[in-house]
Each structure stands twice: as C-alpha cells, then as structure tokens.
A = this chain, B = another copy of it.
C-alpha cells in the first residue's frame, strides 16, 4: 500500500497558470502541504534567483525540477549557439535553485523544415553538449519525451525508448547525470510503456514522474489536460510501474488547462489534494 500524500507530491507551477508572482505561488503550494515545487523560467525573469531559492527552502519545499530548456534544433549554427547559450544560463539558474534536475524539452523542426531525423540528430548532439555543462554544475538533466502529437511543433523526442536511447548515447560512462521524465500525459498510450519504464529503472534513469489525466476526448492539443481521475489514464498502474522500477521521488502534478487556469490557485490546489486518492495504490 502506497498512499500518496501532498508531501510526496510536487506542484509544477504550470498547473496554476502563471497568474500570480512566484513568491505568492510558493506560499500557496507550501500552505497546502506539498513537498516540492517545479517552477518555470518565465516566473524568474527579473527575480533574484538566490532569493527565490531561499524562499522555497524556507517554505520547506524541495525543487523537483526546473522547466525547461529552450529548443535545441535550429536552421543555422548561429541560432543553435544562441539557444545553447540560453540553455546554459538556465542550467545555472537550476543549480542555484537546487533543482533535482533541469528538464529538457528538446524542440523540433525549425520553421519550414521537413527533416525530423535531422532535428533528432541536432537534439541528441545538443543534449550531449548541454550534459557537459550540467556536469560542471553537478546538475542532473532529465529528458522529457513529449506526446507524438507535438512532434512538429514542440519536441522531436516522442517516446520513452527514444529518450533512453539518447541517455545511453550521451552518457557512455554511465554517470547517470542524465535521465528521463515520465509524464503520464505524454506516454500513457505507448504499448512499450511498461517495458521502457523497467528499462529506465534498471538504468537508474527515472528523474521525474509527472501526473495529470487524458480527457476523452481532448478539445485542444495543449490546453485540455485533466485532473487526475477525470480521464482515461490508469494512473494507479502507471505509478505502480514507476515505483516498481525503483523511483522514489516526487509525483509532480502538471496540468495545462484553460479550465483549471481560470480557477483560483487555492481551489486548484485543494482539488489536487483530493485527486491524490485516485493514484494511491
């Protein structure tokens, strides 16, 4: 029996729709008893990152992850360099926050390109390069495969198998400084899911576990995620697989949703607490 309490959960701040400043968000998340937060870069613009890090620590929260990389593939090497530099700045922020990992959403086809294989090659090379920088900061990276419906516009890494292949290719020394985020929304459909979760666990590569639900039908590809229990994902079984593979980190709630974003943060956080029953096992 593995019930899931707020203490074992992290709130990815995307769940709260970026409506109020990060300082207030930290207070709200802590006041509901959650164990961690996963902030986004957009919330730290113009902020003193160390002061934010201190506020998070003082509130008793861990930082389960920091979201997220700029895209890696680009049409020209100048653009690629600019994106890489931007990602290096994000790595420093993540390290200052004490994040358990920096989340890589790889990006995909540059404008006008039809070369997804080329984008995948660029993504793998860019992740390799970023890993060298992250290792200097003692900061783990976590590749998040995104659902195949985002292959054209957001991320060319679309299966857990592909993300793990890249981990193994760039981490030939098996440092385990790079792993994967398993996000229920992105991977639930995959017939190889259970096998790939086992593979990720055996390689000690599970660096994050994100939860929400897939509503049926979805009305928007991006902004229609559901609260746990409101959709079709067998979250209990998924959590059992992830725990069975050796993961003992936070379950991170991440819900992009026009509907949830319209509600008050307090109401959303209360609903998150209630929904945890749906993934207690």
The residues of A with any CB-CB pair to B shorter than 8 Å are: 109, 113-116, 120, 147-149, 151-153, 158-159, 161-162, 188-191, 214, 216-218, 221, 231-234
Q: Name the B residues within 8 Å of A189 (CB-CB).
A: 116, 148, 151-152, 158
Supplied contacts A116-B188, A151-B188, A158-B190, 8 more A-B pairs, CB within 8 Å = A109-B232, A115-B234, A147-B149, A148-B148, A149-B221, A152-B189, A153-B217, A221-B221
Known: A218-B221, A221-B218. A234 touches B153 (CB 8 A): no
Establish whether residues A234 and B114, one from each chain, have CB atoms under 8 Å apart when the complex forms. Answer: yes
Q: Name the B residues within 8 Å of A151 (CB-CB).
A: 188-189
CA distance A159 to B217 in the complex (A): 20
CA distance A188 to B120 in the complex (A): 13
Leading 6 A-B pairs by shortest Cβ distance: A151-B189, A149-B149, A152-B216, A114-B234, A148-B189, A148-B148
**Interface class of chain A by DSSP:** loop
- What is the copy number of this chain in the assembly? 2
Establish whether residues A217 and B152, one from each chain, have CB atoms under 8 Å apart when the complex forms. Answer: yes
Establish whether residues B116 and A214, one from each chain, have CB atoms under 8 Å apart when the complex forms. Answer: no
Q: Name the B residues within 8 Å of A116 (CB-CB).
A: 188-189, 232, 234
Best-surrounded residue of A158, A159, A232, A233 (most CB of chain B within 10 A) = A232
| A and B contact pairs by CB, cutoff 8 A, 23 listed | A114-B232, A114-B233, A114-B234, A115-B234, A116-B188, A116-B189, A116-B234, A148-B190, A149-B218, A149-B221, A152-B189, A152-B214, A152-B216, A152-B231, A153-B216, A158-B189, A158-B191, A159-B191, A161-B191, A162-B191, A217-B221, A218-B221, A221-B221
Which residue from chain B places its CB closest to the CB of A115 in the assembled complex?
B234
Q: Name the B residues within 8 Å of A120 (CB-CB).
A: 191
Q: Name the B residues within 8 Å of A218 (CB-CB).
A: 149, 152, 221
Shortest beta-carbon distance from A129 to chain B in Å: 21
Which residue from chain B places its CB closest to the CB of A111 in the assembled complex?
B216
Q: Name the B residues within 8 Å of A113 (CB-CB).
A: 232
CA distance A191 to B159 in the complex (A): 8
Q: Name the B residues within 8 Å of A148 (CB-CB).
A: 147-149, 189-190
Best-surrounded residue of A159, A161, A162 (most CB of chain B within 10 A) = A159
Shortest beta-carbon distance from A28 to chain B in Å: 30
Which residue from chain B places its CB closest to the CB of A118 in the assembled complex?
B234
